[in-house]
Structure 1
């Protein structure tokens, strides 16, 4: 039986220090990392807008006679349109970023989703243009999703390529931890607006204009990051030597890197299953199965998001000590045992025991999505420089597809077991895929990410 070995190759050349980057000019590596953090935060802020901010105002885009089933379908479509577009954006932007540069394509992506977000803030409602209001909303979310898929496919590899290998774990955690931070920010912002601006009727201030404020903020965030990249962030070191000579997308799906993509696809599919349980299923379970009131569910999920920021950073740092492969195998096994047990315990805890319910919800959140902490480092380390942006973006986004249909899987499982317990099966499946996906791949922690680095091809068939 073959074994995996860590690929040890020479460290990349030292990054330039303050003495050769110009008086008063920030270190290019730090600037790229800050850009990656700010950009990912703006990206995640935009993603959560329709889930949290638009939910109380969806009647603005709907006919008064619309039934609840149709309204729920439209709300789901608004969110799903972004998810569908992200893999497309990652393929397009990753391809061109590998050929023409991460920096240029990051600027295009930031400008694109910033403008789309601002355009949504200016949309008229059903009372003004009828069903065209929701059509335009879905269309703009789709267009924004294409650019969002492009942003993390370009900015994250750029940040990682500037980061010394011994700091890539922490750098990855700092970038990806903006996911729960953005979730918490929007939750607080929306809660504050709803406290000041009543909602509930079509004429209410929040429904008419209050929901627009977070979208304007999202557009401003994208603009701020755009100008930061324009002024402070440089192209990846050695990009000219590593620019793709063939189609990166073809190399990933049909060329010699297809096994690497398959291995990443397995790992990330597992991670997205775990993410859906934490982000979508857990809040619904707290409300419907446990019986926690709506506002209390929001507070619990806010607490879970804040605690999970530490989970992201801790996971990223742990992966730097253990290695990415060992970390993901261990996290998968731990998630299978702890997250599934916590979910079962949650279902058997009365809503009145609010402290226990909150602790269990936090445990589920931490032991599922915290595995995203090292993702920025792992996916960029996994692919050579010539196809890195494509490999990162496609590996990250295309794995969304199978887990995206989780509601159908839950309905199918409900034939064999109580529906409240069906998410436990998804936790088990996601945890196993995460561990198996990591087992199939090589260790990446010590790889050289320079333009002439050796490639990692280990894959256990």
Structure 2
């Protein structure tokens, strides 16, 4: 009896330790997603009013638009490279090490951006330093997905992986709301003017400093609170051949990757229509909302999205990941497209109605992302999971990034204003087909 009590006590103590590790890993992934998205949206929201600080005054409007977009595009281009680089680190060295390195890297890059002098001080070098640092930032941001998220999913209980995926992705809309609130405070404290205004000179630097500080705190959290994935330790530690990248481009892993890339191309296309085109292309240019009305509409829709992500993750756990993803793809191509069609024609409609339609589009089209993190991690074996997840998640963003060109092509065969509706149908159909050709994963053992 005595030895049984000792064994039971030892077992209980071990379970408590695993439970603590699980909670810390999940918290780390949620914070990582929040800080990653915060960093990605920094130039889009914070630098938008002061791009002239980095550029000469004589640049034409058309060239300025191209140069401004390059700041964001270079970040996207860096992500697939970072996913491949840090995915290999996460699979060979460990998820925790990859998380610490990636978070530290984009924290330093963000801090350095906050120190960049303007065009009046160092000329056009100011702009190119910004672009280069954002590209480096993108590499580390792409790496952030490959460590923290697989680590959290591997620690999660099988029956809770859907909820965990939803909680992690809720960090994305939460970050959007947070950075908009910070931007509104900065704009109120430091009114935006020309290159000599207080905001242009140093007001914009404060949010970048906040982003760098959050990254530093997250790195310290992983150092002191998060343990290495026991799944990875048990199956891959000390086995370099099991984590070779060549496994990802051959056999079952390659088939899995192709299916994930197809599905994700569809979901990135639908997400770009809703997340990037809808705010300026529809709310500002078509409906002529003021900047305040647009910001309010988007913040309300992203707040609703925080809760819908958690609900969608739980629903995906119940009905199955494959079913949920194919359903969202089909709904995006039908209901989501119909709501976007209504929104484009909603000129003169009261703002509350516009808000309701935008919230409906966001929930219909974007809810898949609550399931995507869990699903892609379940699609790959432990030895290539981080690399497969990172590459499948990030590489697929490239083709959908040219959505503006696709809309112009569609505009030659239909009214240009409704081209995004057609593109949303196409993206939803691709995502649905991509999900259907893959297996169900909710009962997979990691």
**C-alpha contact 1:152 1:393 (8 A) present in aligned 2:** yes
Tell me if 1:245 matches 2:238. no
Task: Return the match for 1:380 from 377, 380, 384.
Answer: 377
Distance (whole Å) between structure 2 residues aligned to residue 17 and residue 335 of structure 1: 48
- Partner of residue 203, structure 2: 210
- Per-residue CA shift, 1:420-449, capped at 9, x if unaligned? 111111211111111111110000001110
Output the CA distance in 2 between the equivalents of 1:366 and 1:163: 25
The structure in which a higher percent of residues are helix is: 2
1:368 to 352, 365, 378: 365
State how far apart, in whole Å, the 2-side matches of 1:373 and 1:162 are.
18
1:200 Cα offset (Å) = 2.5
TM-score (norm: length of structure 2): 0.94
| Aligned counterparts of 2:256 and 2:348: Cα–Cα separation in 1 | 45
**How far has the Cα of 1:356 moved from its partner?**
1.3
Determine the C-alpha separation between the residues in 2 that align with 1:268 and 1:238.
26
- Aligned mate of 2:14, from 10, 15, 20: 20
Q: Secondary structure at the match of 2:127?
A: helix
| Cα deviations by residue, 1:137-178 (Å, 9 ceiling, x for unpaired) | 000000011011111111100011000010100100110111
Q: What is the TM-score of this pair, normalised by structure 1?
A: 0.91
Matched, 1:266 2:262: yes
Inter-partner Cα distance in structure 1 for 2:163 and 2:335: 24
Q: Which residue of 2 aligns with 1:87?
A: 80
Q: 2:157 aligns with which of 150, 164, 172?
A: 164
Structure 2 distance, partners of 1:17, 1:235, is 20
Please show how residues 17-416 of structure 1 align to structure 2 within 5 Å: 19-20=13-14, 27-243=20-236, 244-245=240-241, 248-284=244-280, 285-416=282-413
State whether residues 270 and 428 of structure 2, in contact with CA within 8 Å, keep that contact through their aligned partners in structure 1: yes
**Structure 1 segments unaligned to the other structure (5+ residues):** 1-15, 450-461
Q: Answer yes or no: is the 8 Å Cα contact 1:102–1:158 preserved in 2.
A: yes
- Alpha-carbon distance in 2 for matches of 1:221, 1:18: 35
**Match status 1:440 vs 2:433:** no
Say yes or no: does 1:431 pair with 2:425: no
* Residues in 2 aligned to 1:248 and 1:331: alpha-carbon distance in whole angstroms: 34
Q: How much has 1:294 moved relative to structure 2? A: 2.1
Distance 1:182 1:351, change over 3 A: farther
Cα distance in 2 between the residues matched to 1:46 and 1:238: 30
Where do 5+ consecutive residues of structure 2 fail to align? 1-9
Considering only aligned residues, what root-mean-square deviation do their CA atoms show, in Å? 1.6
How far is the alpha carbon of 1:246 from its aligned partner? 5.1
Give the conservation status (yes or no) of the 8 Å contact 1:292–1:351: no
CA distance in 1, matches of 2:265, 2:114: 33
